[in-house]
Amino acid sequence: MKDIQSTPAQIAFPIDRVGVKGLKFPIQIQTRDIGMQHTVAIVDMGVDLSVSSRGTHMSRFVEVLQDWNEPLCCESLERLVKQTQKKLQSQHAYIAFFFPYFLHKRAPSTNMLSLFSYDCKLSAKSINYNIEFILELTVPVMTVCPCSKAISHEGAHSQRSEIYIQLRLEQFRFIEDFIVLAESSASSPLYSLLKRADEKYVTEDAFAHPKFVEDVVRNISSKLITVTDVLGFRVEVESFESIHAHNAFAYIEHEFIC
């Protein structure tokens, strides 16, 4: 059969990235405490395309992914990227896994156990077989306003906030290490299951540790800069203000070039 994709491009523009998006794929990922965690990822895959070809071979992306059967980490992702480059005969390749990562969390007072999910993304891109890894995660937390607490006779405004972290990694690190790092930098973590005794504890503990978004982003950055295997990072904290119709945010970037 005639291979239309392999005919020369009618317009002489090379394409930076072309491929498939939104592939659902079951994965395993190593945890610190409970071995392998099974979850479902959304996978994006792409390669560059020269003017010598009108189109890429879309089915080959799916073939490569279906043949890949390893727990997700930087080393296995590197092998997948290189195999994609080889199969698609490309100079550059990009693969991203978007997935929910689950932790068992114990309520602070009753010690009751429940699952809590975090949105994560592990991606890799290659340029002439040099590989760069990016881990991204979103960690929801609670923040209490220090100013509101200082000027009010009773209480202070508090709200749910989200911490967005992007990390340039030299090699894979346990995701929960960065989750704990982020949660410990805010006024309080969040929980799926809280009884009344737990609600009391969380409220009082959060009010004992008021934080601006500026405090949280600085706390996280000062910890990340000491972590081996983290080559650079971006951290943004966004607070969904309970007394305003707008949000507050703070952002720090350190040696994050990609």
- Average pLDDT, stretch 133-139? 97
pLDDT greater than 80 at residue 197? yes
Q: Given pLDDT bands bounded at 50, 70 and 90, which one contains residue 258?
A: low
Strand locations in the chain (E): 15-30, 36-49, 92-106, 113-127, 130-144, 158-169, 188-189, 230-239, 248-254
36-47 residue pLDDT tens: 999 999 999 999
Question: In the chain, how many H helices and how many E strands?
Answer: 6, 9
The mean pLDDT of the chain is 93
Nearest-CA neighbor of 186 among 175, 167, 202? 202
Q: How many residues does the chain have?
A: 258
**What are the Cα distances from residue 149, in Å, to 154, 200, 209, 218, 249?**
8, 17, 10, 20, 19
pLDDT band of residue 68 (cuts 50, 70, 90) is: very high
Query: Residue 153 has what pLDDT?
Result: 75
* Boundaries of every domain in the chain: 15-254
Residue 172, pLDDT score: 87
pLDDT of residue 11: 84
The stretch 76-82 carries a mean pLDDT of: 95
> Of 143, 171, 174, which is closest to residue 157 (Cα–Cα)?
143
Instruction: Give the pLDDT confidence of 217-230 residue by residue, as tens digits.
Output: 999 999 999 998 99
Predicted confidence (pLDDT) at residue 128 exceeds the cutoff of 80: no
- pLDDT-derived band at 8 (thresholds 50, 70, 90) equals confident
- Using the predicted structure, report yes or no on whether residue 4 has a pLDDT greater than 80: no
pLDDT of residue 177: 95
Domain at 15-254, CATH class: alpha beta
Mean pLDDT of 46-75: 93
In this prediction the pTM is 0.93
pLDDT tens for 162-180 read 999 999 998 888 999 999 9
H-run or E-run covering 50: none
**How high is the pLDDT of residue 196?**
97
Residue found under tokens 């295997």: 229
Q: Which amino acid is at 175?
A: I
